[in-house]
Amino acid sequence: METKTTTFYTLAFYNIENLFDIYDDELTRDDDFLPNAEKRWTIKRYKNKLRKLGFVISEIGKKQSNTHPAIVGLAEVENAEVIKDLISSKHLAEIDYGFVHYDSPDERGIDVALLYDKNRFKVAHSKNYSIELFNEKEETDYTRDILLVSGLFEGLELHIIVNHWPSRRNGSGETDHKRMTASKKVVEIISNIKKKNAEAKVIVMGDFNDDPTNESVEHLVKSHGLFNPMETLISNDRGTTSYNKEWNLFDQFMFTHNLFERKKGNLRYVDANIFDEDFLKLYDGKYKGTPYRTYVGKRYKGGYSDHFPVYLTLKIKR
């Protein structure tokens, strides 16, 4: 008698707040993250952050899938070496994670990357896409690239687009156009994927520096009829990052509607959530409940990140 099995999987995204090594890169503005800098970014602090981040990643979605995430998008990694250090850290060393990473032209030297369990996902193709931005002087304004990784997830075609859109550092109104430019680039990337396969399954993940209700995100969702499960999660007392006691849900997933198909053997969406366990939060003070950060300004706090991770639960019924 044939038995039916359903396997659950976790896909995660995590902005890990400035994962820099302790060495000076002359091509980027990484001077804050050196042992002799004001922040005193030492090897001990670096290894402590690696261990803590590794533990978080190993736990994301474990209650749903009973195992580590199959895929993890990352934001704010300095280079390939810090990713290697992360996946060989205490809590991740026994997981067979590979990764995809490209150095981007971002002035601070931070990039996006994708971790993947080699037993679940086979990479067929990857590419990084630059976003053309200009400042008031018509000079190029460098930012993080967008990463596309295409391959087979448990034998099924899947395309993943990892993002870290331009920040709101000079105010959201002053920088809205930058995120809209990024949004249009993702629309273009998905269009190119669909030209080759109109039924392609696409998952967009990242730190968009905009909420689900902002124009840049809504433009992306509407352009390709995507589903954004994070729209129902944002509230006054919950999000992925907090500024001046107000929550934002900048970290999101969006995906094509064919992840709702009920066909046997299909990859199918189950749920999405914020991984905001208590150990990731400040436990007292006026910012109680917000992310337990590595730094606040130049002050070392020894926490995890200024963002909570987010995750999707998917399943395959065979």
- Spatial neighbors of 82 by CB under 8 A, at least 6 apart, are 19, 20, 21
Terminal CA-to-CA distance of the chain, rounded, Å?
A: 14
The pair of three-digit structure tokens given for residue 317, joined into one six-digit string: 């019924």
| DSSP per-residue codes, 171-183 | -HHHHHHHHHHHH
CB atoms within 10 A of CB 262: 7
Neighbours of 2 (CB within 10 A): 5
User: pLDDT of the chain along its 318 residues, tens only?
Assistant: 445 799 999 999 999 999 999 988 866 767 788 888 889 999 999 999 999 999 999 999 999 999 999 999 999 999 999 999 999 999 999 999 999 999 998 888 899 999 999 999 999 999 999 998 877 666 677 889 999 999 999 999 999 999 999 998 766 677 899 999 999 999 999 999 999 999 999 999 999 999 999 999 999 999 999 999 999 998 888 999 999 889 999 999 999 999 999 988 999 999 999 999 999 999 988 889 999 999 998 999 999 999 999 999 999 998
Tens digits of residue pLDDT in 3-52? 579 999 999 999 999 999 998 886 676 778 888 888 999 999 999 999 99
Written as six digits, the tokens of 198 are 């109109």
Distance CA 224, CA 242 (A): 30
Instruction: Render the burial of 67-93: b for 16+ CB within 10 Å, e for the rest.
Output: bbbbbbbbbbbbbeebbebbbebebbe
Distance CA 305, CA 49 (A): 9
CATH class of 8-317: alpha beta
| 47-76: pLDDT as tens digits | 999 999 999 999 999 999 999 999 999 999
Single-letter amino acid, residue 85:
D
> The pTM is what?
0.95
